[in-house]
A = this chain, B = another copy of it.
Amino acid sequence: MRALHILTVAFATGLAACNRGESREEAEARYREEAAAAQQAIEAQVQRFVQHVNAGHADSVAMLYTENANLMPPGLPTVTGRAAIHAFFADTSGGGPFTLTLTPVEIIARGPIAIERGTYTAQIGPVTDAGKYLVHWHHVQGEWLMADDIWNSDQGGEM
């Protein structure tokens, strides 16, 4: 019995030596679970973003971007950093009635990075614009935030 016990301890020590590692299959299963969780969390963030933009709450909108995020609007140079992004949305919300809708089409996540592709409509007074966007999300301290955000219109002819 004692010899068996020593063998068991040796076996268990060997197991422990792998430092709670995971097999390829375990890792793949974890990736799938993480990706599903990320997708759900990002969809919720997209809803918050739309609500805050349409309410003209530039403060709350800016908090959905990372500290050093890049906002890439058509017709303007890249807007970098949360403060500059805040100013961009404060300007936009000052321009009168504005209604944004976003439709995420695909969200792909792996570890702390995710990519969201979708379509948008924007009603600005009597004018409606429609187009597409791509967002790079980053998982920062338990929260999914936008690190890069770019969009363009389907209308107006090619540049």
Contacts and interface: CB of A to CB of B under 8 A. Distances in A.
Interface residues of A, number: 53
- Count of this chain's copies in the oligomeric assembly: 2
Contacts of A148: 115, 117, 134
B75 A158 contact: yes
Contacts of A153: 74-75, 159
A77 interface: yes
A70 interface: yes
Contacts of A129: 159
Interface string A58-101: 00000000000010111111100000000000000000000000
A18 interface: yes
